[in-house]
Chains A and B, each alone.
Chain A
Amino acid sequence: MAIKMLVSKPGKDVLTSNSPDDFYLHSDYPLLKVHSYGTFSFNVAIGQTTVYHNLGYRPYVLVFSQAVLDDSGNVSSEYYQHDWTISGATVMWLGETRIYTDRIVIGVEQSNAARGGTVYGFYYIFKDEVT
C-alpha cells in the first residue's frame, strides 16, 4: 500500500474524510507550485509586455491588470482578471495573456486609444504545465 500524506481542515477527520475538499494537503492531488510572480506596467500606447519564464513548456498562469476604459486611454482603478476580449462595432477591448514555452506576453489594449496612461498589473507563473 502506498504511503500518503494528508492534512485535513479543522473539523474534518483525517482518517475518515474522503472528499478532496476536506484537506489542506492531500498527496493524491498535486498543488500548483509557484515558479515566479511579479508586477508589470506599460504605457497604453505600447499595449503589451513580455515576461520570460524559460521553463521549456507552457505553464499555468494567472494575470490581473487594469483595463483601458476609453479612447483617451484612461485606465480602471480595479484590476481585471485576464482574459477578456470585447469587440464593438468600431472598437475592441482586450486584456489577454499569450503563453509560450519560454515567456508570456501580456496585452492590454483599447484599439482606439493610441495614447494614454500606464497600465499596471501582476502575474503568477506556476511550475505546473498546461497539458
Chain B
Amino acid sequence: MGYELKITKPGYNVLTETNPKNFIFDSSLNHLKTVSYGSFQRTVSAWGNSVVSIYHGLGYKPLAMAYFRNTSNNNYFITMGQVNPEADSRVGIRYNVELYLTNNYLYFGLYNFTSGSITFEVKYEIFYEGI
C-alpha cells in the first residue's frame, strides 16, 4: 500500500474522514497545478476590439481561468460571461472579454460596444491540467 498525505478541514478527523469535500489536500487526488499567471491592461477604442495573446507553449490545450474589469470601476467579471453585448446585457455592461485557447497560446478577445474608450484589466491563471 502506498503512503498518502491528507489534510482535513477543521473539525474533521483525518484518520476517519472519507468525503473528499472535507479535505484541504489529498494526495490520492489530482489538484490543479499552475503553469503561469499574470495580468495586463489594454485600452480598446470606442466600438473597437482587440486580441491579446499569451504564449504557454504546452503543446496541448490547458485549463485556464480569467477575470476582467473595466478599470473605471472595481467590478470583476468572469470571462465570456457577457450576454448580448451589442445592447444592454442582463448584467448591465456593454463590453466583454472572451477567453479561448490553442495548443500553444491563450487568447483574450476584448470587445467594446460603447462610444468611449475602455481600458480593460485582465487577470489570468494557466494550469498544467488539460488535454
Residues of A within 8 A of B (CB): 2, 5, 25, 27-35, 37, 39, 57, 62, 64, 67, 76-88, 95, 122, 124, 127-129
Q: Tell me the B79-99 residues at the A interface (CB within 8 Å).
A: 79-86, 98-99
- Is A124 a contact partner of B129 (Cβ separation < 8 A)? yes
Q: Please state if A80 and B61 are interface contacts (CB–CB under 8 Å).
A: no
Residues 1 to 59 of chain B near chain A (Cβ within 8 Å): 7, 9-10, 20-21, 23-26, 29-32
Q: Which residues of B contact A (CB under 8 A)?
A: 7, 9-10, 20-21, 23-26, 29-32, 61, 63-66, 79-86, 98-102, 107, 129-131
Total A-B residue contacts, Cβ distance less than 8 Å: 92
A128's nearest neighbour on chain B, judged by CB, is B21
Partner of A122, one of B10, B21, B80, B131: B131
CB-defined contacts of A124 to chain B, threshold 8 Å: 63, 129
- Chosen A-B contacts, 30 in total, with CB atoms closer than 8 Å, are A25-B25, A27-B7, A27-B25, A28-B24, A30-B9, A30-B24, A32-B32, A34-B29, A34-B32, A35-B20, A35-B29, A39-B131, A57-B21, A64-B61, A64-B63, A76-B100, A78-B100, A79-B101, A80-B99, A81-B99, A84-B82, A85-B83, A86-B83, A86-B84, A86-B85, A87-B83, A87-B84, A88-B84, A124-B63, A127-B21
Contact B20 A127 (CB under 8 A): yes
Decide if A80 touches B131 in the complex (CB within 8 Å). no
Contacts of B82 in A (CB 8 A): 84, 86
Q: A37-B129, A122-B130 are in contact. Are A29 and B24 (CB under 8 A)?
A: yes
Would you call A81 and B98 a contact (CB within 8 A)?
A: yes
**Which A-B residue pairs are the 6 nearest by beta carbons?**
A127-B20, A34-B30, A78-B100, A84-B80, A33-B29, A81-B99
